[in-house]
Amino acid sequence: MSNNTPFSFGAATGVGSLPGGDAREAAKTVTGTFEDFPFLPELPARGPGADMIGRTAGLLVELYARVEPSGWRLGDRPGRDTKRARSWLGEDLDALEEFTQEYEGPLKVQAVGPWTLAANLELRNGEAALADPGACRDLAASLAEGLRLHLAEVRRRIPGAQLVLQFDEPSLTAVLRGQVKSASGYRTHRAVDRQIVEATLRDAMGVHSDGPVVVHSCAPDVPFALLRRAGAAAVSFDFSLLTERDDDTIGEAVEAGTRLFTGVVPGTEGPLSDPAGSVMGVRTLWRRLGLSPGLLAEAVTVTPACGLAGASPGYARTALAHCVRAARSLADNPE
């Protein structure tokens, strides 16, 4: 999607995962809280296949994965783990469809991106797919095909939605730096060439040519410039991990039209500040970068710092509602 395409993101949304195992309850919470930017909830507490890697493995076309004691491993045919992952995704789509009747506006769906998938899916020999460039290419192609079908299914169920595709890439920095551990744990896989990483991401984002792609990572040192070059319309990150080292790349990203999904609300239990306090850091960053306060509402979507799967249901609901109030505070008082 080109930067000059008018697309209206909502002012606040969630990252993806929520606690508990009730799809209807999750869909009701999300659509009730984010009236103008809901997302498809993920409920990893249900077990293998509802987790981030298993859920995306269930989307793959002509590649299948099963759970081994060490994690998810590619196999020859769909087993019960693949079936379970697909069944839960179907249940989540049913619930979201029920609560988005007549909905028109942005709607976010999440999947693990090609590099985090390659770092976390094992080949038959137990090594990460990351170790084999051919396997990485096959995985990225299979993921692209699976996502094409998934997005078409969401469009069919919720025709008024303008889809936003989020790639979860928490392992991306480790892939770029050669920090992904081998199966033995004694060594690490060599760093993947930045141009290959960028080209693979660009191809992956090409699956969603008629809407924006967000890349999410709550790891430190998110490669903003690389993601922007690859075509990300927005970058989603844990705001507390930013350092002043990131200032220049963030300033360039904002000026180039990249939206920031600022994770300012803690993902784990704890007292929350007032909504204005939650976005104070964003205002401070803006001043430091010399950006116009009027740009804030156009450039920022407020989110939790990371997924909320580890929180209590009560805290998760509070944190999501807090994102909406913090976004309102930012819009009302950008200075």
Give tens-digit pLDDT for 8-40.
899 999 999 999 999 999 999 999 999 999 999
Q: Which residue has the tokens 């990572």?
A: 217
Per-domain boundaries in the chain: 23-258
Phi and psi at residue 157, in whole multiples of 5°?
-75, -35
Supply 278's token pair: 């939650």
Q: What's the confidence (pLDDT) of residue 185? A: 82
2 pLDDT exceeds 50?
Answer: no
Indicate the helix (H) or strand (E) that contains 105: strand 105-112
Q: State the residue for tokens 């930017």.
A: 37
d(CA 131, CA 11): 40
Phi-psi region of 62 (alpha: psi -120 to 50; beta: other; left: phi over 0): left
pLDDT score, position 217 = 95
Class at the top of the CATH hierarchy for domain 23-258: alpha beta
pLDDT band at 6 (very low <50, low <70, confident <90, very high): low
Please, are residues 215 and 236 in contact by the beta-carbon 8 Å criterion? yes
- Region 252-279: what's the mean pLDDT? 92
pLDDT digits (tens, 9 = 90+) for 165-198: 999 999 999 999 999 999 888 899 999 999 999 9
